[in-house]
Amino acid sequence: STIAALRGVLEEHRGAGRTIGFVPTMGFLHPGHASLMDAARAENDVVVTSIFVNPLQFGPSEDLDSYPRDLTGDAALAEEAGVDLLFVPSATEMYPDEVRTTVHVSGVSEPLEGRTRPTHFDGVATVVTKLFAIVGPCRAYFGEKDFQQLAVVRQMVRDLSLPVEVVGCATIRDADGLALSSRNAYLTPEERAAAPAVHAALQAGRRAIEGGATSPDEVQRAIAAVIEAEPLGELDYAAVVDAASFEVPDPLRGSLRLLVAARFGKARLIDNLGVEVGPALASREAQGP
């Protein structure tokens, strides 16, 4: 739970030439988190997971106080996944003084999540920088589930020449398509039954592109329509962007990402899906279905 204690152990591992893999989380762990730990376990000598509900990345009206917590369950899941060290600092351990230094990543952090949650990505970039400085990982694992966050972290690591390899991991879903998320715990049974509309909306967007749509507006409407048809869902945004720059190509081409955010009761759910248009799609079609 202290920075000094963790550093002490990790210095020994580094001194012995061991590689360190790092999985930062906010806890209430589920198989999506476990998939990141599995990847870290396979590629590193020592695996560190952090559990820290970072106040800096929550807006004033967001769910910082109600964010679900279960340290006992988390420890069991992490142990099962082969994690060596679980770092669980308090807020005062991480931020003993007023925070005067923050990290801002312009561009990719600004649309979508950045628009709805204006201070969110500064909080993420700052805590990830700080955790990297504490852990000193060779590799760090992030889920594609939070695709814009992954893009922000990649940009930051490139811009600041941080000595860490960022590894993106595929989204783990329930059988009905709902992406696993700690915030799914907020869903009532009725909302849970309706929530697969989020993934269905993205698939509708992908079908529109595969059916020949090249207008971002048309694809955005195809995604939005599925959420709007679901009485328990309230759309925040639906978008199609270039997967690297987060700019909107018009006409649509290249490596695209479809993204959606919607509220189901108390839960704000986000999800995304990749689609290739152009040479990549053409070669896939050439290979048959």
Which residue in the set 74, 113, 122, 146 belongs to the binding site for ligand AMP (CB under 6 A)?
146
For residue 97, the 8-state DSSP code is S
Q: Is residue 137 near ligand AMP by the rule CB under 6 A?
A: no
**147-159 vs 120-135: helix axis angle to the nearest 10?**
60
CA distance 83 to 23: 9
| Cβ-based neighbours of 117, under 8 Å, separated by 6 or more | 59, 62
C-beta of 20: minimal distance to ligand AMP in Å?
Answer: 17
Which residue in the set 41, 130, 145, 268 belongs to the binding site for ligand AMP (CB under 6 A)?
145
C-beta of 26: minimal distance to ligand AMP in Å?
Answer: 4
Q: In this structure, what token pair is assigned to residue 247?
A: 């700019």
Task: Please identify which residue in the block is written with the tokens 């990543």.
Answer: 105
Q: Based on the residue annotation, tell me whether 33 is a catalytic residue of this protein.
A: yes
Residues numbered 170 to 209 that lie near ligand AMP (CB under 6 A) are 171-172, 179-182
Q: Is residue 32 near ligand AMP by the rule CB under 6 A?
A: yes
| Radius of gyration for the chain, computed over Cα atoms and rounded to the nearest angstrom | 20
CA distance 185 to 68: 8
C-beta of 218: minimal distance to ligand AMP in Å?
Answer: 28
Q: Which is nearer to ligand AMP, 31 or 278 (CB)?
A: 31
For residue 173, the 8-state DSSP code is B
Q: Which is nearer to ligand AMP, 35 or 126 (CB)?
A: 35
Which residue in the set 34, 36, 48, 135 belongs to the binding site for ligand AMP (CB under 6 A)?
36
C-beta of 169: minimal distance to ligand AMP in Å?
Answer: 6
Q: Which is nearer to ligand AMP, 51 or 194 (CB)?
A: 51
Report the 10 Å Cβ neighbour count for 185: 15
Asked if the peptide bond before residue 118 counts as cis, ω within 30 degrees of 0, the response is no
Residues annotated as catalytic (active site), given as ranges: 33
Residues at the interface with ligand AMP (CB under 6 A) = 25-26, 32-33, 35-36, 142-143, 145-146, 169, 171-172, 179-182
